[in-house]
Structure 1
Amino acid sequence: MKFCELTIDEFDSFVTAEFSHYTQSRAHYEGRKALNMDVHLVGVKEGERVLAACLLNGAPSFKFFNYFYTHKGPVMDHHNKELVEFFYTHLTKYLKARKGLFVLVDPYVTRNYLDGDGQVTEALPVDDVIETLASLGYMHKGYSVGYSLDSQARYFSVLDLTDKTDADLLKEMEYKTRRNINKTIEMGVEMRDLPDDEMEKFFSLYRMAEDKHDFSLFDLDTFKRMKKIYGDNARVVMTYIDLNDYLGRLNVQLDDKRAEFEAASAELEENPDFRKLKNKKAELEKAMKQVEKKIAETEELKAADGEVLELASAIYIFNNHELYYLSSGSNPKYNKFMGAYHMQWEMIKFANQLGLKRYNFYGVSGDFNEETSPDMGVIKFKKGFNAYIDEQIGDFIKPLNKPAYKLYKLMKRK
């Protein structure tokens, strides 16, 4: 075996064949290079065969040093002790030669599979991985729960697409979710991709989510850079509704209900004592009034906010294995149009068309307690699509220059 820098083609061939995260990709590498950001491709080869591959990001840290991070890497069999020891031992030498202060690794290794309620359905062996990395100086940062600006979420909400048709996926969703998706179709909710010059529309809706959940993570330039980095492997989409179209649909409904009402009224005149007809007429009258109310409310909304309402938006990234639902937002004023449900359904179908195995709703806190969870609404929303939970092993950190790292930690505390 030999540790070496990989060509982009060697790296790409390996991560395309082996299950890997979107950040371990050609698109990520080429995007960072185009932006003059520090990025490295390293791995292990046996002859011409690649056994391990890793995309590493570098950044200046503590004046004279560099900090290195691999997001969901390296891509390798972390249960192969010989390979793990060989890779990480040589990685240390590689990074020390590049003035490394410390390195953070976040392997794409699953610890547990859980159901949507947080109950473990399958536990996977990870103690051997932690022990091997510990012997190499990598400190496991523990099984964190919740969100942190210092690390990625450990819990992913994932929908299995394997060998399923769109009809299968819809049928397996919770009734409420399936009903809401169908309602968006009936109302005429649509989705479109946002070009670069309309990214502000996405960001405006994203900021509404920030305000709602009281957090602030990224600015508009960060999202523009992300979209540029991943190029054709990124989509920024937005759901919307044309109120003129919606009013047309409501008026058709009203005409249909009116025709049914008039038919029931005529039939009742011929059979005045028929109780079922009386009930039917009353129900149809009630239904007509409900549609008339919707028409009036929609006319008011159109007059106040315009003909087209922007409902929800999100940025998605995909590779050969998964489609990832990353950052999103929606306008709470228009919740009744359920733009987020329509967006998820359209993108689930897109992922299925690509032949991907997983639709990754991405992070949840991992706190499934109704009383303490900061995102129980989000957890339930994703669960409604029949998503399960993929709990990751978490982060490992290794000081590369121990004296400098110790000083760095002391300075951070001040």
Structure 2
Amino acid sequence: MKFCELTIDEFDSFVKDEFSHYTQSRAHYEGRKAMNLDVHLVGVKEGERVLAACLLNGAPSFKFFKYFYTHKGPVMDHHNEELVRFFYTHLTKYLKARKGLFVLVDPYVTRNYLDGDGNVTEEQPVDEIIETMTSLGYMHKGYSVGYSLDSQARYFSVLDLTAKSDAELLKEMEYKTRRNINKTIEMGVQIRDLADDEMEKFFRLYRMAEDKHDFSLFDLATFKRMKKMYGDNARVVMTYIDLNEYLERLNVQLKEKQSEFEASDAELKENPDFRKLKNKTAELEKAVKQIEKKIKETEELKTTDDDVLELASAIYIFNNHELYYLSSGSNPKYNKFMGAYLMQWEMIKFANQLGLKRYNFYGVSGDFNEETSPDMGVIKFKKGFNAYIDEQIGDFIKPLNAPAYKLYKLLKRK
């Protein structure tokens, strides 16, 4: 085996074949290069065959040193102890030679599979991986729960797409989710891709989510860079509704329902003692009033807002293995149109069309307690699509210059 720097073609070919995260990609490498950021492609080869590949980011740290980080890397079989020892031993030497202060690795390795309620359904053997990494000086940062600016979420909400038709995927969702998807279709909610010069539309909705959940992560420029970096493997979509078209639909429904009501009411007058007919007529009258109410509300909304309402938007990135639902937002004023449901359904179908194995709803806190969870609503929303939970192994950190790292930690505490 040989530890070496990989060419972009060697790296790209390997991560396309081996299950890997979108950040371990040609696009990510070339994007960082274009911004003159420190980025490395290293791996292990046996002859011409690549056994491990890793995209590493570097950044200045503590004056004369560099901090290195690999997001969801390296890409390799972490259950192959010989390969793990060889890769990480040589990675340490490689980074020390480049004035590394410490390195943080975040392997794309599953610890447990859980159901949507957080109950473990299948454990994965990771203790030996942690023991091996610890023996190499890579300290495991533990099984964190919640969100942190210092690390990625450990819990992903994932929908399995393997060998399933769109109809099967829809059937396996919770009744409420299926009903809401169908309602959006009945209302005429639509979806479209946003062009580069329309990113402000996405960001406006994203900021509404920031305000709702009291967080602030990225600015508009970051999202623009992300979209440009991943090119054809990124989509920024938005759901919307044209109120004029919606009113047309409502008026057609009203006409049909009024006709049904009038026929039932006439029949009831001839048969006043038929209990089922009484109930049917009452329900039809109620339905007519509900549609009339929707028409009135929609007409009022047109006068106060606009003919076309922007409902929800999100940025998605995909590779050969998964489609990732990364950042999103919606206008709470228009929740009744449930734009997020149609957006997820259309993108699930898109991922299935691509032949991908997973639709990754991305991070949740990992706290499944109704009383303490900061994102129980989000967890339930994703669970409704029949998503399971993929709990990751977590982060490992290794000091590369022990004295300098110790001083760095002491100063950081102050």
TM-score band, normalised by shorter chain: over 0.9
Partner Cα separation in structure 2 for residue 323 and residue 23 of structure 1 = 12
For residues 71-100 of structure 1, what are the alpha-carbon distances to aligned partners after superposition, in whole Å with 9 as ceiling and x for unaligned? 000000111111111111111111111111
Aligned to 1:47: 47
Classify the secondary structure of the residue corresponding to 2:76. coil
Within a 5 Å distance, the mapping from 1:111-260 to structure 2 comes to: 111-260=111-260
Displacement after TM superposition at 1:286 (Å): 1.2
Which amino acid counterpart does residue 152 of structure 1 have in structure 2? Q
Partner Cα separation in structure 1 for residue 227 and residue 137 of structure 2 = 36
For residues 162-195 of structure 1, what are the alpha-carbon distances to aligned partners after superposition, in whole Å with 9 as ceiling and x for unaligned? 0000000000000000000000000000011111
Does residue 61 (structure 1) correspond to residue 37 (structure 2)? The answer is no
Partner Cα separation in structure 2 for residue 172 and residue 160 of structure 1 = 11
Aligned to 1:8: 8
Classify the secondary structure of the residue corresponding to 1:111. strand
For residues 278-322 of structure 1, what are the alpha-carbon distances to aligned partners after superposition, in whole Å with 9 as ceiling and x for unaligned? 322222111111100000000001110010111111111100000
For residues 176-221 of structure 1, what are the alpha-carbon distances to aligned partners after superposition, in whole Å with 9 as ceiling and x for unaligned? 0000000000000001111111111111111111111111111111
Displacement after TM superposition at 1:269 (Å): 3.7
Displacement after TM superposition at 1:275 (Å): 3.2
For residues 126-182 of structure 1, what are the alpha-carbon distances to aligned partners after superposition, in whole Å with 9 as ceiling and x for unaligned? 011111111111000000000000000000000000000000000000000000000
Does residue 294 (structure 1) correspond to residue 294 (structure 2)? The answer is yes
Classify the secondary structure of the residue corresponding to 2:66. strand
Partner Cα separation in structure 2 for residue 328 and residue 232 of structure 1 = 19
Classify the secondary structure of the residue corresponding to 2:303. helix
Classify the secondary structure of the residue corresponding to 1:20. coil
Displacement after TM superposition at 1:228 (Å): 1.2
Partner Cα separation in structure 1 for residue 209 and residue 329 of structure 2 = 5
Within a 5 Å distance, the mapping from 1:248-397 to structure 2 comes to: 248-397=248-397
Partner Cα separation in structure 1 for residue 223 and residue 406 of structure 2 = 34
Stretch moving more, 25-34 or 384-393: 25-34
Aligned to 1:405: 405
Which amino acid counterpart does residue 125 of structure 2 have in structure 1? P
TM-score, with length taken from structure 2: 0.99
Which amino acid counterpart does residue 349 of structure 2 have in structure 1? K
Stretch moving more, 144-153 or 253-262: 253-262
Classify the secondary structure of the residue corresponding to 2:355. coil
Classify the secondary structure of the residue corresponding to 2:381. helix
Which amino acid counterpart does residue 413 of structure 1 have in structure 2? R
Which amino acid counterpart does residue 305 of structure 1 have in structure 2? D
Displacement after TM superposition at 1:248 (Å): 0.6
Classify the secondary structure of the residue corresponding to 1:385. coil
Displacement after TM superposition at 1:270 (Å): 3.5
Partner Cα separation in structure 2 for residue 344 and residue 145 of structure 1 = 25
Partner Cα separation in structure 2 for residue 195 and residue 402 of structure 1 = 48
Does residue 103 (structure 1) correspond to residue 103 (structure 2)? The answer is yes
Which amino acid counterpart does residue 259 of structure 1 have in structure 2? S
Partner Cα separation in structure 1 for residue 226 and residue 158 of structure 2 = 22
Partner Cα separation in structure 2 for residue 326 and residue 50 of structure 1 = 30
Aligned to 1:27: 27
Which amino acid counterpart does residue 140 of structure 1 have in structure 2? H
TM-score, with length taken from structure 1: 0.99
Displacement after TM superposition at 1:407 (Å): 1.3
Which amino acid counterpart does residue 248 of structure 1 have in structure 2? E
Partner Cα separation in structure 2 for residue 279 and residue 237 of structure 1 = 44
Partner Cα separation in structure 2 for residue 286 and residue 124 of structure 1 = 54
Percent identity of equivalent pairs: 90
Which amino acid counterpart does residue 48 of structure 2 have in structure 1? E
Partner Cα separation in structure 2 for residue 52 and residue 388 of structure 1 = 28
Which amino acid counterpart does residue 141 of structure 2 have in structure 1? K
Aligned to 1:85: 85
List alignment gaps of at least 5 residues for structure 1: none
For residues 1-43 of structure 1, what are the alpha-carbon distances to aligned partners after superposition, in whole Å with 9 as ceiling and x for unaligned? 1001111111111111110000111111111112221111100
Classify the secondary structure of the residue corresponding to 2:215. coil
Partner Cα separation in structure 2 for residue 164 and residue 279 of structure 1 = 41
Partner Cα separation in structure 1 for residue 269 and residue 96 of structure 2 = 92
List alignment gaps of at least 5 residues for structure 2: none
Partner Cα separation in structure 2 for residue 95 and residue 56 of structure 1 = 10
Partner Cα separation in structure 2 for residue 268 and residue 86 of structure 1 = 84
RMSD: 0.9
Partner Cα separation in structure 2 for residue 45 and residue 182 of structure 1 = 51
Stretch moving more, 127-136 or 268-277: 268-277
Displacement after TM superposition at 1:274 (Å): 3.1
Partner Cα separation in structure 2 for residue 211 and residue 47 of structure 1 = 54
Displacement after TM superposition at 1:272 (Å): 3.7
Partner Cα separation in structure 2 for residue 140 and residue 131 of structure 1 = 9
Aligned to 2:36: 36
Partner Cα separation in structure 2 for residue 218 and residue 157 of structure 1 = 21
